[in-house]
Amino acid sequence: MMRHRKLIVVAAAGALAGAAWMLKGSPAYDVLMTLAAVIAGFPIARLAWDGLRNRAFTIPLLVTVAALGAIWIRETWEAAAVTLLYVLGSYLEDLTLERTRAALRSLIDLRPRTARIKRGDDLVEVAADEVAAGETVVVRPGDRVPVDGQVTAGRAALDTAALTGEPLPAEVGPGDRVLSGSVSQGGYLEVLAERVGADTTFSRLIYLVAEAQEQKPKVQRFLDRFAQWYTPTVIATAVALFLFTRDVELALTFLVIGCPGALVVAAPVAVVAGLGNAARRGILIKGGERLERIGKVDLVTLDKTGTLTQGRPQVTSVVPFGGHDTTSLLTLAATAEQRSEHHLAAAILTYAKELGVAPSPVGEWRLDPGLGAVALTERGEILVGNRRHLTANGVALAPAEEAVIAAAEARGETIALVALGGRPAGLLGISDPVRPEARAMLGALRRAGVRRTVMLTGDHAAAARQVATALGIDEVRAGLSPADKVAAVRELQARGHVVAMIGDGINDAPALATADVAIAMGGSGTQAAIEVADVTLMSDRLERVPEAIALSRRIMAVVRQNVALAVAVVLLLLAGVVTRRVFLSGGMLVHEASVIIVILNGMRLLRS
């Protein structure tokens, strides 16, 4: 009953008004109409009083004053009609907003509640929030994965639709990473918990969707401020109209018709519906002002590895230097990269594991973003990274070694150079296949209004140009450090472009933060990249990028349509009141009809 109390108020007041009409001409008519106005008007008056206590002149204040005035001049039907129509419109608005929030509510309903944990030889069921990092979680058919982690045993098909919008299940096995909220459709898994509780991808998704729906775009913030001075202006104008014409009914009609109900709901309905639609498709837009910025993007910058490529690089060549062999070179590389999150590090570690090569223990370790990794071991300092990394640490390359590097780069391989104790130890050539959907995504970007694409990559120029030529990217800037990427983004912004940056690695985070719009590849992206992003693609599908831009533009277009319609209706009705062509009940009916049209227009965004 609490959920539908507005409908109950409308039904009760409507019944009284209907009974009054049947007794028109009798003394009971005015009594019943007044009771109908009081029942429908009470919740409106309470909202008006709450606003006044907070020194806010609200729309309910206009309706309350108009209803009291109508009763005072014994126009009880007008008072009942005004309050009834307002409460009915408010109920329909609540009903619509409730529906547009269905995406968030369905996400919350899908939240994992319990988890099965292996503790010794026992299998214990606990609340999902009680799982600790490092524990092993067992997932059986029908279970929701309660943590983000890595599969250590078993195989299963996981439904990830709630997270990524992907309709087909994903097959996972040992070594694969799984996300909380995925549902096992069959099989058995043991998962080593890495991120738990509020840190899981699913919990963060719920939080970010809720936060996005609460944030307001500039136009909505303007409309909120507009209501603060609009209400007293309408009241003052109505008073002036009465003083000038001595027509109470005209002044009251002006007061009621001036309520900008459609204007108030013009933005929030469209924004919430659009963001809910995006979330169901695996596109997480962080809402508010970002919507307007996304819609204005005309230049997109892209990282290469993990963004335009599949993010699953493979070691394709191993060339030792200086007396090292393949095994010793791989041992050095795996030792330095064992703590790194980078895609190239994962390729090196996977290749070493396949050949049975294990990394050595590491003392001190550090990551130089955009350059490589440094590890201190018993054998000395190990460097793994690009040419600039070795140069920065005083490691010189011989002409013969330079020739080997140039040949590998000419083949389009990304080079990971390895050094031990200040001397080159060899190189690993790594290739990463281009995403099959990358070319189609670039074409869709142009159709969405993006005029130029620029690749910003830390990779060497030959590999970058090979990918750019295959995909039709307009400009390539290779060999960039994180600082260089930031400088490149700022240079493009200085030329007047609204720049979107697509990236996924920790070295992309500074450029993502600098760009006007940051788009992170959520499935393979690092936490740092996802946290600074305005848009996160939960499924890592590149075609979602132009969809996000197109949907943002569509949301803002609907907001502008709603605002234009609301303003036009108010102006036309007020003109009709002043010229005595529009009267209270008819004007209120048109007013509420405009509110419903605005709501329905916003609800179109719930569809794909």
Which is nearest to 60 in space by CA: 81, 45, 71, 39?
A: 45
Q: Which of 143, 148, 159, 303 is catalytic?
A: 303
* Both tokens assigned to 513: 């933060």
Q: Is residue 303 among the annotated active site residues?
A: yes
* CA angle centred on 529, ends 524 and 531, rounded to 5°: 115
How many helices (DSSP H) and strands (DSSP E) are in the chain?
22, 20
- Residue 449, token pair as written in the block: 């209004």
Extended beta strands in 398-467, E state: 414-420, 423-431, 452-456
Point out which residues pair with 434 in neighbouring strands: 309
Helix or strand run (H / E) with residue 177: strand 177-178
Tell which phi-psi region holds residue 400, choosing left (phi > 0), alpha (psi between -120 and 50) or beta.
Answer: alpha
Distance CA 275, CA 104 (A): 10
Tokens of 11: 């039904």
Q: Which residues contact 85 (CB under 8 A, 6 or more apart)?
A: 588, 589, 591, 592
What Å distances lie between residue 460 and 95, 395, 455, CA to CA? Answer: 56, 18, 12
Give the C-alpha separation, 479 to 518, whole Å: 21
CA 179 distance to own-chain centroid: 17
User: What HEC string does 12-69 produce?
Assistant: HHHHHHHHHHHCCCCCHHHHHHHHHHHHHHHHHHHHHHHHHHCCCCCHHHHHHHHHHH
The β-bridge relationship of strands 475-477 and 314-320 is unpaired
39: left (phi over 0), alpha (psi -120 to 50) or beta: alpha
Are the C-beta atoms of 559 and 229 separated by less than 8 Å?
Answer: no
* Strand, helix or coil for residue 536: strand
The candidate with the shortest Cα–Cα distance to 468, out of 293, 309, 279, is: 309
Tokens of 581: 């062509």
Please state, as a whole number, how many other Cβ atoms lie within 10 Å of the Cβ of residue 61: 23
Phi, psi (5° rounding) for residue 522? -70, -35
Residue type, position 584, single letter: L
Number of residues written out for the chain: 608
The two structure tokens encoding residue 93: 């608005």
Q: Is 426 helix (H, G, I), strand (E, B) or coil?
A: strand
The SS3 assignment for 418 reads: strand
Contact criterion met (CB below 8 Å) for 560 and 567: no
Amino acid at position 405, single letter: I
Contact 251, 241 (CB under 8 A): yes
Residues forming a β-bridge with 224: none
Residue carrying the six token digits 């197109």: 550
Q: Catalytic positions, please?
A: 303
